[in-house]
Amino acid sequence: MSRLIGRLPKVGIRPVIDGRELGVRESLEVQCMDMAKAAAKLIEETLRFPSGEKVECVIADTTIGGVADAAACADKFKREGVEVSLTVTPCWCYGTEVMDTDPLTPKAVWGFNGTERPGAVYLAAALAGYSQKGLPAFGIYGKEVQDEGDQTIPQDVSEKIIRFAKGALAVAQMKGKSYLSIGYSSMGIAGSMVDVNFLQDYLGVRAEFVESVELLRRIDKGIYDQEEYKKALAWTKENCKEGKDYNGDEAQKSAEEKEKDWEKVVKMTLICKDLMNGNPKLKEMGFGEESKGRNAIMGGFQGQRQWTDYQPNADFTESILNSSFDWNGIRQAYTFATENDCLNAISMLFGHLLTNKAQLFSDVRTYWSPESVERVTGKKLTGIAENGIIHLINSGSTTLDATAQQSDAEGNPTMKPFWDISEEEVQKCLDNTKWPAAIFEYFRGGGFSSQFKTKGSMPITMCRLNLIKGIGPVLQIAEGWSVELPEDVHYILDERTNPTWPTTWFVPRTTGKGFFKDVYTVMAKWGANHGAISHGHIGADLIALASMLRIPVNMHNVDENDVFRPSAWSGFGEELEGADYRACDNYGPLYGFK
Ligand SMILES: C[C@H](O)[C@@H](O)[C@@H](O)C(=O)CO
Ligand SMILES: [Mn+2]
């Protein structure tokens, strides 16, 4: 069940048709409506929301042969909460008379590749109309000619329909929600200085600000679910075992002090959940305003410093919120950034909305060349790590799902949507995580950090949204793999850093040229200290989503054939990257103005 206020967006399917009666329209009614039903079936059988709900499609009541039908369809879509539109047809139709003219609805058009009727001709005419009217639309056209009665959806068409629908639903889900900033600037990290106008203009997201002192107020006044707290503390004691205390004797806290820290960090977690999405229990307790929450689809905790100089850090809170489980069982992960890095929270949210999976928040900490690894460990890097690795590690906000203790059908390490995760897998994630006392030099107020390493090798994608003054937002994407180093190599390298934090060793896919020339260059070109990492190779989905949001992509290692953007982008030139920049600049932010 979605934690957010309001209904989930629906996908509207628009079967358009040649309006000429006395034969033409009548001969196409069944095929046209069947295309719409096939598209709806594909989407509903393939996609779900991160909260687990199924995606619902709404098909126009009739085929759309002219503006009256188009208006009736738009009216139905409005009533039904449709926020994405897919137009389908096997034949010629009257472009501007049947188009979806809603400027805020991400839209695509699928023209059946059959020659009995000029479906592709309509597709081109429709896309020309959308381009001429400044309403970018995705064009979908299968490579192989299909026979007139063929109601199957070819693989290439299916892939584009799903890629479009995933990105479009992500756009629709963000609109009207909040980013919850608990505290503000963290250690001068620019991404933590929340850019309210960017959130509003590009994502339709409002920034909500709550001072960190609110956590103390609620802790001191007992403004949290007392019953849940008891359950949470007991679960935590049972499942979150302290690791080695790396602090010197003089900085180590006593067992009693650590007990107090555990109690506080559990309360912090309950309170951050309540701040994000409210809690009806608080109303029963007489805290009506606090029971409402901030309708936050993502959030961030400043933490460092001030709070962490005085209070236990939020690593436990951030780790548990970003995981697909807690004391209440297996559930949708939150999207919650440490160091209040809002830009990384957005990057995590893109990954979460596109995959329905929990996300990693990492410092892009160290590039290790094969030579340096051999120098300090005496061992050679092998396999896909042989040309160098990047150490991804940050206190806090990395999901425990990133222990990679979940398995796919073949038994390989993976990360799954919460509804596919078993209790046993949850326990393995917890059993492979230790919670050493927070390192005193950084976290004077104490607390605990999640300590684990990502097991085995998984396909992963790191992305990062950056703000470049004068251009605005740009997105960078690096597909690659997590790798597990031999224990002795991992230990030596990890001990040189902050071994109390979670580690993922990352090997980006390199191409030998440009920004992906080699592993070193990928890190050198990374635009900030943080990256958001998602399971799977989702670069093409991120590229499609970015184009819907008018955010240019400045770096990616996705095969050019998988780059899918609105057809109008072609009007900005053949060289895809420059065209992307020109198109995004031309259209400007979805909800704002340049
Ligand atoms: C050293 C700082 O306190 C840490 O927070 C650092 O590792 C960071 O994560 C900075 O992004
Ligand atoms: Mn960091």
- Segments making up each domain of the chain, as ranges: 10-174, 178-587
The predicted model gives 252-272 an average pLDDT of: 98
The predicted model gives 258-287 an average pLDDT of: 98
Query: Has 363 been labeled as part of a binding site?
Result: yes
Q: 102 is written with which tokens? A: 């809603």
Residue 573's pLDDT is: 98
- Give the number of other Cβ atoms within 10 Å of residue 222's Cβ: 12
pLDDT of 62 > 80? The answer is yes
Residues 448, 457: Cα–Cα separation, whole Å:
27
What is the CA(154)–ligand 1 centre distance, in A? 48
Ligand 1 atom with least separation from CA of 338? 9
pLDDT of 317 > 80? The answer is yes
**Options 83, 195, 208, 363, the catalytic residue:** 363
Q: Which listed ligand is nearest to 189 at the C-alpha?
A: 1
What pLDDT, in 10s, does the model give residues 144-156? 999 988 999 999 9
Residues 6+ apart with CB under 8 A from 11: 40, 43, 55, 56, 57, 58, 82, 84, 85, 86, 165, 168, 169
Which residues partner with 505 through β-bridges? 391, 483
Q: Does residue 186 contact residue 333 with C-beta atoms inside 8 Å? A: no
**Options 245, 326, 339, 401, the catalytic residue:** 339
Ligand 1 atom with least separation from CA of 395? 9
518 belongs to the catalytic site:
no
CATH number (3.40.640.10, 3.10.50.40, 3.40.50.1070, 3.40.50.970) of 10-174 reads 3.40.50.1070
C-alpha distance from residue 431 to each of 71, 243, 396, 453, 500 (Å): 57, 11, 17, 12, 15
pLDDT band at 515 (very low <50, low <70, confident <90, very high): very high
Q: Where are the alpha helices (DSSP H) in 447-575?
A: 487-495, 519-524, 539-548
Q: Does residue 481 contact residue 533 with C-beta atoms inside 8 Å? A: no
Q: Report the share of the chain in percent with pLDDT over 90.
A: 97
pLDDT of 172 > 70? The answer is yes
Q: Which residues of 350-396 form beta strands (DSSP E)? A: 360-368, 389-393
Query: Has 147 been labeled as part of a binding site?
Result: no
Predicted TM-score (pTM) of the model is 0.98
Q: Does residue 299 contact residue 336 with C-beta atoms inside 8 Å? A: yes
Nearest protein CA to atom 7 of ligand 1, as residue: 394
575 belongs to the catalytic site:
no
Residues 323, 376: Cα–Cα separation, whole Å:
34
H/E run at residue 88: strand 82-89
What is the CA(363)–ligand 2 centre distance, in A? 5
Q: Per-residue b/e over 113-137, b at no fewer than 16 CB within 10 Å?
A: bbebbbbbebbbbbbebbbeeebbb
Residue of 365, 394, 450, 503 best suited for mutating to test ligand 1, as the one with most atoms within 8 Å of CB: 394
The overall average pLDDT reported for the chain is 97
Query: Has 150 been labeled as part of a binding site?
Result: no
**Which of 248, 202, 261, 232 is CA-nearest to residue 445?**
261
**Which of 110, 203, 218 is CA-nearest to residue 156?**
110
Burial class (CB in 10 A: 0-12, 13-18, 19+), 500: buried
Residues 166, 540: Cα–Cα separation, whole Å:
11
What is the CA(341)–ligand 2 centre distance, in A? 8
Residues with CB under 6 A from ligand 1: 304, 339, 363, 394-395, 442, 529
Residue 118's pLDDT is: 85
Residue 183's pLDDT is: 98
Q: Which listed ligand is nearest to 442 at the C-alpha?
A: 1
Which residues partner with 301 through β-bridges? 182, 338
What is the CA(100)–ligand 1 centre distance, in A? 48
pLDDT of 594 > 80? The answer is no
pLDDT of 117 > 90? The answer is no
What pLDDT, in 10s, does the model give residues 535-552? 999 999 999 999 999 999
What is the CA(394)–ligand 1 centre distance, in A? 7
**Which of 501, 544, 542, 506 is CA-nearest to residue 522?**
506
**Which of 363, 368, 345, 359 is CA-nearest to residue 298?**
345
Q: Residue 373, Cα to own-chain centre: how many angstroms? A: 33
Whether the upstream peptide bond of residue 294 has omega within 30° of 0, thus cis, is no
Nearest protein CA to atom 3 of ligand 1, as residue: 442
Q: Where are the alpha helices (DSSP H) in 47-94?
A: 67-80
What pLDDT, in 10s, does the model give residues 299-313? 999 999 999 999 999
Nearest protein CA to atom 1 of ligand 1, as residue: 442
ipTM: 0.98
Q: Which CATH architecture has domain 178-587?
A: Alpha-Beta Barrel (3.20)
Residues 363, 507: Cα–Cα separation, whole Å:
15
Residue 149's pLDDT is: 84
pLDDT of 530 > 90? The answer is yes
What pLDDT, in 10s, does the model give residues 426-454? 999 999 999 999 999 999 999 999 999 99
The secondary structure of residue 423, as a DSSP letter, is H
Q: Per-residue b/e over 58-67, b at no fewer than 16 CB within 10 Å?
A: bbbebbbbee
Nearest protein CA to atom 6 of ligand 1, as residue: 394
Residue 148 has φ and ψ, to the nearest 5°, of -50, -40
Q: Which listed ligand is nearest to 498 at the C-alpha?
A: 1
Q: Does residue 253 contact residue 448 with C-beta atoms inside 8 Å? A: no
